[in-house]
Structures are given as structure tokens and as C-alpha cells.
Amino acid sequence: MKRLVEIIVHIFFWLIFTAFVVILIQIYLQARPDSALGKHFLYLVFLELAMALILFYTTFLGIPPARKKKRNLIILTAVLIFILAFFAYPATRHGMWQVLSSVIPHIIVIFLAVVFRRFSDSIQLEKEKQELLLQNAQSELALLKMQVSPHFLFNTLNNIDYLITSDVKKASESISKLGDMLRYMIYESKSDKIPLSREIRNIEDYIELIRLRTSGSDYLKYNLAGDPAHLRIAPMIFVPLIENAYKHSSEKEGDNIISISIKIDGSTLFFNVNNKYDSSINKAGHSSNGIGLDLVRRRLEIIYPGKNSFKITQNSDRFDVELKLELDDN
């Protein structure tokens, strides 16, 4: 896309330059009606454009290698001086003013080529920056996958092992949910964006596996409002936040220890997770500067620049994370 913009800028520049050359030559010929060049208007336009193109693209294409070696810079400078002298030589028969009037416009063309080179380089640097940011986001996603606590998987498997002897049907459902979650983490989350409905299904599987490890039906409250069918989202945004809430909850049984809500309004998604928190126990571990939270924050800045709001609040007994995202349609 940015390459196309650069091409359009070049085309637009040469259209303007051609119009400028045509106007100047017409003014010159009107001021010199007795000039022998009056019968060669198109030839003059073609010659001036050819000279400008040679100077412009010799400079434009010569700058990158000239930056790498001093010898290349000397060669480029010598070539430009030779071309300027070659084009200005015929004017030497008519005096210094004619020579200057021939050289100065071409020096301006060289200057414009330098400006365009800087513009082109800035586009290339921006492209490389975006590629690096994308690679960084992908690397951090891989790190997030590895950060899903091994203890969570270990304890979940222990709970499933217990269920096999007490509730075979529930154990089978739990194994299926765990398999779906692992399949999602390993394979489906490789895409840059996935259907929001799939991400929500993964969250719900994760929540059900958490409930295996806790006592009380109201330990974790979950609410979903709105239709996710038409939206897409970057994968693995929410699981680290939910895992963080469970990991640092002050209790593993009771009511309203963790609360999770998702609200979808048009293309805007509101996500909130909060948990009961004992600052005396979790003083060092549960903070707004945790590795998982920092990774989520950086991914949001890279993938949703200017389209996200990530807020963390913490008081004596509750830790709260609020996320607002502007999502893409399918």
C-alpha cells in the first residue's frame, strides 16, 4: 500500500512538472516570437523532460549506494556535474546568464530528487518498523502461550483424574474442553485475527476448567452481552487476564471471588475481570506491572493503536482490569 502511495506521488509530481515546463516554454516563446525554436515546441518540452528525468533518477537511485561508500558519493557527484555541464554547454555561446538559466532549474531538480529520496526512505523505514512490530507481536503471543501456567494444566488434569472415578460424564466433557483449548492455543491462534466468537468459546472453556478447581457455583461469575458473530479479534487477549485473576485470588472457595463480563456494542467490546485480592498475601506477585499484563498491554499498543483502553485499578480487597477495544468486522 505504501509502495503504491510512493508511485502515485511520483506520477503526480511529473504531471505537475510537465505542466510547469509547458507553461515556461510557452512564456519564453511568446517573449521571443522571432526565436528559431518557436517551430520546435514539442521538441523543447521533450528535451527538458528528458534532461529532468535523467538528473532526477540519477540522483534518486544513486543516493542509497552513495551513503554506503565515500567512493560512490564522489562518483555520483562527478556524474551529476558532468550531466549538468553537458546540458549547459550549448548555452555557453549565448553568455553567462543563459548558462545560469540552464543550470539552476536542473539543480532544483536534483534537490527535489534528494527530497523524494528522503520521503521514499521514510516510507521504507516505516514499513520495516511495522514488520518488526508484527514480529514482536507474534513473539509475544508465543510467550503468552508459554505463560499459561503449567500448574493450571497439571491441576486440571488431577481434577479430571478424580472425576473419572466420581463423574465420568463430567470428566469426559472436561477432557474435551481442555483438548479444544490446547488445540486453539497451538493451532488456531496462529492467525493475526480470528472470529471473536471463537475467542469467547475459548474463554468459556477456560472458565469451566477453573470451576473444576474451585468450590461453590458462585465462585466465578461470568456474563456475556451482545452478538460477537460479525467481529474479529487478535487471539489470546483475554486468557492471560483471567489467569492472572485466578492465580492471585485471595481464596479458592467462596462467593463472588472472580467476576468476568464481556459486553459487545456494535464494533466496540468491553471486557472486565476483577477478583478478590488480599494485598498482604499478594503484595509482591499481583501488580499492574506483572509480566502477563505488560505483554497484553504491549500487544494492544501494537495491534490496536489508538483503538484500545486498558485500565487497571487496585484497592484493599479487589483487583480490577477494564479493557475497551474497537474491533474489525468479518
196 vs 17, more confident: 196
Q: Is residue 136 part of a domain?
A: no
* Alpha helices per DSSP H over the chain: 2-31, 41-68, 70-88, 96-147, 150-166, 168-186, 196-212, 239-247, 279-282, 291-303
In this prediction, residues 102-113 reach a mean pLDDT of 81
Do the beta carbons of residue 211 and residue 219 sit within 8 Å?
Answer: yes
Instruction: Indicate whether 222 and 98 sit together in one domain.
Output: no
Same structural domain for residues 174 and 97? no
CA–CA separation, 318 vs 181, rounded Å?
28
Specify whether 158 is located in the same domain as 266. yes
Q: What is the mean pLDDT of residues 196-210?
A: 88
Query: pLDDT confidence of 142, banded at 50, 70, 90?
Result: low
Clarify whether residues 49 and 114 are in a common domain.
Answer: yes
pLDDT of 94 > 80? The answer is: no
Taking the C-alpha atoms of residue 166 and residue 162, their distance in angstroms, rounded to an integer, is: 7
Asked if pLDDT for residue 45 goes beyond 70, the answer is: yes
Higher pLDDT, 178 or 93: 178
Domain stop point among 77, 101, 130: 130
Question: Is residue 140 within 8 Å of residue 298, measured between CB atoms?
Answer: yes
Same domain, 163 and 277: yes
Q: What is the arithmetic mean of pLDDT over 213-225?
A: 84
Domain membership of residue 70 (yes or no) is yes
- Residue 31 and residue 179 share a domain: no
Query: Which pLDDT value is given to residue 285?
Result: 45
Q: Average pLDDT for residues 64-76, to the nearest whole number?
A: 85
Mean of pLDDT over the chain: 79
Residue 74 has pLDDT above 80, yes or no: yes
pLDDT of residue 254: 81
Residue 138 resides in a domain: no
Structural domain contains residue 137 = no
Per-residue pLDDT at 327: 92
Q: How confident is the model at residue 284 (pLDDT cuts 50, 70, 90)?
A: very low
Give yes or no for residue 120 having a pLDDT over 90. no
Residue 120 lies in a domain: yes
Q: Is 313 found in the same domain as 175?
A: yes
Domain end, chosen from 65, 95, 130, is at 130
Residue 265 or 299, more confident? 265
**200 vs 46, more confident:** 200
Whether the per-residue pLDDT at 124 is higher than 60: the answer is: yes
Shared-domain flag, residues 116 and 22: yes
Quick one: what percent of the chain has pLDDT higher than 70?
A: 78
Query: What average pLDDT does range 59-84 have in this prediction?
Result: 85
The CATH number given to whatever domain includes residue 213 is: 3.30.565.10
Asked if 125 and 156 sit in the same domain, the reply is no
Q: Quote the number of domains for the chain.
A: 2
Residues 120 and 153 in one domain: no
Region 5-33: mean pLDDT is 75
Instruction: Examine residue 142 and state whether it is found in any structural domain, yes or no.
Output: no
* pTM score, whole prediction: 0.57
Q: Are residues 79 and 224 in the same domain?
A: no
Domain annotation covers residue 228: yes
What percentage of the chain reaches a pLDDT higher than 90? 15
- Residues 206-228, mean pLDDT to the nearest whole number: 85
Host domain of residue 87: 2-130
38, part of any domain = yes
DSSP class of 113? H
Same domain, 313 and 181: yes
